[in-house]
A and B are shown apart, each in its own frame.
Chain A
C-alpha cells in the first residue's frame, strides 16, 4: 500500500529563519511526487512535481528535492505569508492519476 509520512506535523519559524520539511514515501513505482500548499478553508494549491531521484525544483523561497525514499521542501528566509499547511502526495505508476497524500506540515512564520 502506498504511504506518505510528513514531518514535522507543525513548525514555527521566525521570519528569515530557513528550514526544511520532510516527506517520506513508499510507493509501488513512483510516477510523480507532488507538493501542494493549503491555506485554511481552501483547496490545495499546486507547487511542484518531481519525477526522479536527484531532481530539484525552485519557486521563489521554496526548493523541492527528491531521493528514492523521501522529498524535502526547503524554505529559505521565509516570510509570514508563507504560513500554510504544506502537503506532499505521491502518484503511482499504473494508469490512475489519483494522489495519496500525507497529513501535511503546518508552517507558521512569525514576523
Chain B
C-alpha cells in the first residue's frame, strides 16, 4: 500500500535555530502534500498545502516566513521551521493523497516528527 515516510521522527533544537523535516512518498507520486501540526490532546490542524512546482498555500494564522515549505519533486516535500522557539514545540505530520487514484483516495500519513525547542 501507499507509504509516506517522514524524517526525522524526533528532533531537539535550541531556540533560534532552524529545523528541516522531510516527507517522502515512497511508492507513489504526490503532486500535493499536506502539513499538519498536533498539540497534546488537540486535533490535527492543517498548516499548509504543499504543491509540486509552485508555492505552498498556507492556512490562516500560519506564518509563511517562519514555516518554509518546498515541494521540489513528486515524492519529496520539506518543512523548515526557521528561528524556532519553545512555542513551536509540537508534533508535525505530513500527508499525501496518492496521485492518480481518484479524488476520494484516503490521505496517507507519515509517522510524524516530534519537535522540541529548548
Contact = CB atoms under 8 A, between A and B. Distances in A.
Interface in B19-45: 32, 34, 36, 41-45
A32 B43 contact: no
A41 B6 CA distance: 13
Interface string B74-106: 000000000000000001010101000001101
A36 B95 CA distance: 13
B112 A97 contact: no
Nearest to B91: A41
Contact of B106 (A34, A98, A103): A34
A87 B44 CA distance: 9
A100 B46 CA distance: 8
Contacts of B108: 46
A98 B112 contact: no
Contacts of A99: 34, 44, 46, 95, 107
Contact of A46 (B34, B42, B104, B106): B106
Nearest to A46: B106
Interface residues of B, number: 26
B103 A97 contact: yes
A31 B97 CA distance: 14
A43 B111 contact: yes
B104 A43 contact: no
B103 A103 contact: no
B97 A43 contact: no
Given A41-B114, A42-B112, A98-B34, A51 B104 contact: yes
11 contacts: A43-B111, A51-B104, A87-B44, A97-B32, A98-B49, A99-B44, A99-B95, A102-B43, A103-B41, A103-B42, A103-B43
Interface of B: 4, 6, 32, 34, 36, 41-46, 49, 91, 93, 95, 97, 103-104, 106-112, 114
Given A43-B4, A98-B34, 17 more contacts: A4-B43, A31-B104, A34-B106, A34-B107, A43-B109, A43-B110, A44-B95, A44-B109, A46-B107, A49-B104, A97-B32, A97-B34, A97-B107, A99-B95, A99-B107, A100-B46, A101-B45
